[in-house]
Amino acid sequence: MLRRWSQYVFTVILAVFLFAGCGEKETKYVFLLIGDGMGPVQMNAAERYLASMEDRSGIVPLAMNLAPVSGSATTYSKNRYITDSGAAVTAMATGVKTLNGTVGMDAEHRYPLRSITEIAKESGMKVGILSTVSIDHATPAGFYAHQPDRGNYFGIARQLANSDFDFFAGARFRQPGDPAGKDKTNIIDLAKRNGFVYAENSTAFRYLEPGAGRVIFIHPDTNVEFAMPYSIDRDEGSITLKQMLEKAIALLDNPDGFFIMAEGGKIDWACHGNDAATCIQEVLAFDEAVKVALDFYEAHKKNTLILVTSDHETGGMSMGTSYGDNDLGLSKLQWQTGSFTELTREFRNIRDVMINEHGPDSVRQNADWAFEFVRTQTGLGDAEKGLGLNEYEMADLLTAYEKSFSVRDRENPLEYIAYGSYDPFMVTVSRTLSRKAGIGWTTYSHTGVPVPVRAFGSGAERFDGYYDNTDIFKKLNTLIGKNGGWVRR
């Protein structure tokens, strides 16, 4: 009996010692990589595109889809089954469901919710927030800001400038000054006063090195939409999300670890516009960033967790359409020279010039130039590319061409169902192109389908199965938080 007791005590002491020996945090490098609007089909379409370009069946798997652990998460918000980015990110970042349009606050807008990034910072990790859209946009904001309205960009930016996080990178602030003109604070000056290094060109970006201190990097090619260019429109040499993530790792790597949230924000934008080729290129660019995280993981396997997920699906993207290509020959999308955002801009510019020269009636009555424009810019109409137009498609496009000259009737549901808020002709071109390649769309908005979760590394096994987006916070909190559960500030 006595002997057994001593054995027991010995085992306990040994266990305590072993535990103390493992005092170092297990999960100390966390990558949370969010493809905004990226549902299972967006991922799979990119994989099918790669195989189709090699003229073979099946897929070429994305790096993110080689994860040993896969799950999926429901995304509904407190007040709507179909969430927006604000409520979805609040759920993932804080574990609490809130109203669509809210970031980092409870549904009654009474108090700010503590986010996983704030918990990471408190536990000694460095924190980086990266996005391909403006750094004050809902998804990045959900990790550092607390606002009843995601449209309060000035308030969000102020919280960024006052935060104790270490690295921000993305497109420029929407409201660096108070839009009401009452508050005279300039966000960039405030950030500098608070000790941030502010970098906004490629040279400064290149020279950012470990020891640079806390940094805000604003991408120099921030176009009129307050976002980095789409991958499909990007100039050679323009800084990518992949490069921003490499920089984040270089700046934040330290013995106490880091938490990096990086968002591919324009997968969502492309899908709102039902633009399949642009969406696929955005997913591929996002996967390049995943590979950067995977390289880091290879060197720090024991302590690194990579999570890849999404806030919601956008567009109701599907694979398989009536009169579509049932082999999903997505290589038919390869002829598209730019995003539909850019192509529509170009289309309208040409149309304006022609109207100036020939008058509106003449341009309206003859759509030949528009079909020629579309054929050279996307391949649609070119039978040799498998993109010839049948009678029905021609009629559909001609109706849309006609509509693109008139003032939009926002109250007409049929018009909205057909064209959303986009140029009727160009969006019909985009949807026709998608359909011919085999890709369908149900909406110009978000959908309520569960999103994929992929996990690699330390603690990854917790992300297996089917759960809610609030569980992503809870699982992360058990890995890196000290307090457990969500906490009021």
Tokens of 274: 């039902």
Residue type at position 103: V
CB of 312 to Zn ion, least distance (A): 6
Shortest separation between residue 36's beta carbon and Zn ion, angstroms: 4
Q: Which of 85, 134, 274, 336 binds Zn ion (CB under 5 A)?
A: 85
Provide the CA 237 distance to its chain's centre, in angstroms. Answer: 21
Spatial CA neighbour of 462 closest among 76, 454, 404: 454
Nearest Cα residue to 432 out of 280, 275, 265: 275
- Ramachandran region, residue 485 (left: φ > 0; alpha: ψ -120 to 50; beta: rest): left
CB of 139 to Zn ion, least distance (A): 6
The Cα–Cα gap between 2 and 14 comes to 18
Query: Which residue in 33, 36, 104, 259 binds Zn ion (CB under 5 A)?
Result: 36
Which residue, 268 or 325, has its beta carbon nearer to Zn ion? 268
Report in angstroms how near the CB of residue 311 gets to Zn ion at its nearest. 4
| 313 touching Zn ion, by CB under 5 A | no
Closer to Zn ion by CB, 143 or 297: give it. Answer: 143
Closer to Zn ion by Cβ: residue 262 or 374: 262
What region, left, alpha or beta, does residue 58 occupy, with left being phi > 0 and alpha being psi -120 to 50 degrees? Answer: left
Asked if residue 311 binds Zn ion (CB under 5 A), the reply is yes
The b/e string for 73-111 (b: 16+ C-beta within 10 A; e otherwise) is bbbbbbeeebbbbbbbbbbbbbbbbbbbbbbbbbbeeee
Stretch that binds Zn ion, among 110-118, 260-268, 331-339, 467-475 (CB under 5 A): 260-268
174 alpha carbon, distance to own chain's centre: 18
Q: x/- binding map, residues 266-285, to Zn ion, per CB under 5 A?
A: --x-----------------
- x/- letters, 458..487, toward Zn ion (CB under 5 A): ------------------------------
Q: Which residue's Cβ has the minimum distance to Zn ion?
A: 85
CB of 84 to Zn ion, least distance (A): 7
> How many residues in the shown chain lie near Zn ion by CB under 5 A?
4
**Residues 435, 378: Cα–Cα separation, whole Å:** 14
Of 92 and 380, CB closest to Zn ion: 92
User: Cβ of residue 429: shortest distance to Zn ion, in angstroms?
Assistant: 25
β-pair partners for 456 = 306
Check binding of 263 to Zn ion (CB under 5 A): no
Contacting positions for Zn ion (CB under 5 A) = 36, 85, 268, 311
